[in-house]
């Protein structure tokens, strides 16, 4: 019985986090976001991009990055289960079957690509931002 209660609580907390993820303003000033939009979650570029993120979880955390994936009908934050939602895809999708969007701490779009972005390229962009430079200075002091 207790296991069911725990599983239910975990499911509800995961769902509420996903719902919050749809309002990206909740992340503003706390996290940088990478939106990975695809017409089909089985698409090769999409799968490869997510695999790239798995290679350096510490680097993503250090840079306050949250990964949000979205298709025309569903979305998820980081590695959570998919939830029924089309809001993010509809709001940010412009064209094509794959889009990579970097959103800064201020909520502004900093990069939009229709190709896979390497961690080195992503980190170079983020590390050149004034707020990130200030974070690194604070960390080194």
pLDDT at 15: 39
Average pLDDT for the chain: 85
**By residue range, what is the domain housing residue 25?**
2-140
Rg (CA), the chain: 16
Contact between 3 and 69 under an 8 Å Cβ cutoff? The reply is no
pLDDT at 1 over 70: no
Q: Total structural domains in the chain?
A: 1
137 vs 30, which has greater pLDDT? 30
Q: Which CATH number goes with the domain that contains 22?
A: 3.40.30.10
């Amino acid at each position: 019985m207790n296991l069911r209660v725990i599983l239910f609580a975990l499911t509800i907390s995961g769902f509420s986090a996903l719902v919050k993820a749809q309002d990206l303003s909740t992340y503003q000033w706390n996290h940088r976001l990478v939106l990975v939009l695809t017409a089909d979650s089985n698409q090769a570029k999409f799968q490869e991009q997510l695999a790239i993120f798995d290679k350096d979880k510490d680097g993503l955390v250090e840079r306050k990055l949250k990964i949000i994936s979205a298709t025309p009908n569903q979305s998820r934050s980081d590695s959570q289960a998919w939830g029924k939602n089309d809001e993010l895809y509809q709001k940010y999708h412009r064209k094509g079957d794959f889009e990579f969007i970097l959103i800064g701490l201020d909520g502004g779009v900093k990069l939009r690509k229709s190709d896979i972005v390497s961690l080195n390229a992503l980190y170079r962009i983020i590390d050149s931002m004034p707020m990130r430079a200030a974070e690194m200075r604070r960390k080194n002091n």
